[in-house]
Amino acid sequence: MGCQLVDASRVLLVFQPQPAAELLQPLFDARPLTFRIQIGVHHDVVHAEAAQRGLPVQGVGVGLPSIVDVDRGRMVSSQNFVPEFADVPIGDWIVEQTGLTTYVDNDVNALALGERRWGAGRGVSSLVMVAIGTGVGGALIMNDALVRGRNGYAGEFGHVTVMLNGPVCFCGGRGCMCAFVGGAAIEQSAQLRLRTRPDSKLLTLAGGEVTAVTTAVVFEAAAGGDGLARTLVDEACEALAATLGTLINGLNPELVIVTGGVVRSLAPLRDDILQRATKYALARVLDDTAIRMIPSDKSSSMRGAAALFLYEAARRGQQPAADDPRPAADPRR
Model pLDDT for residues 184-229, shown as the tens digit of each residue: 999 999 999 999 998 999 999 999 999 999 999 999 999 999 999 9
**Cα torsion through 223, 224, 227, 233, rounded to 10:** -20
What confidence category does residue 78 fall into, taking pLDDT thresholds of 50, 70 and 90? low
* pLDDT (0 to 100) of residue 42: 66
What confidence category does residue 38 fall into, taking pLDDT thresholds of 50, 70 and 90? low
Phi, psi of 133 (to 5 degrees): -135, -125
Alpha carbon of residue 120 to chain centroid: 15
pTM of the full structure: 0.86
Model pLDDT for residues 141-150, shown as the tens digit of each residue: 999 999 999 9
Q: What average pLDDT score do residues 148-170 get?
A: 93
Alpha carbon of residue 103 to chain centroid: 17
Model pLDDT for residues 280-319, shown as the tens digit of each residue: 999 999 999 999 999 987 677 788 999 999 999 999 987 6
From 71-80, 95-104, 127-136, the region with the lowest mean pLDDT:
71-80
All structural domains of the chain, each given as residue ranges with its CATH number in brackets, are 3-113+297-315 (3.30.420.40), 123-294 (3.30.420.40)
Between the CA of residue 295 and those of 169, 248, 260, 263, what are the distances in Å? 25, 21, 5, 5
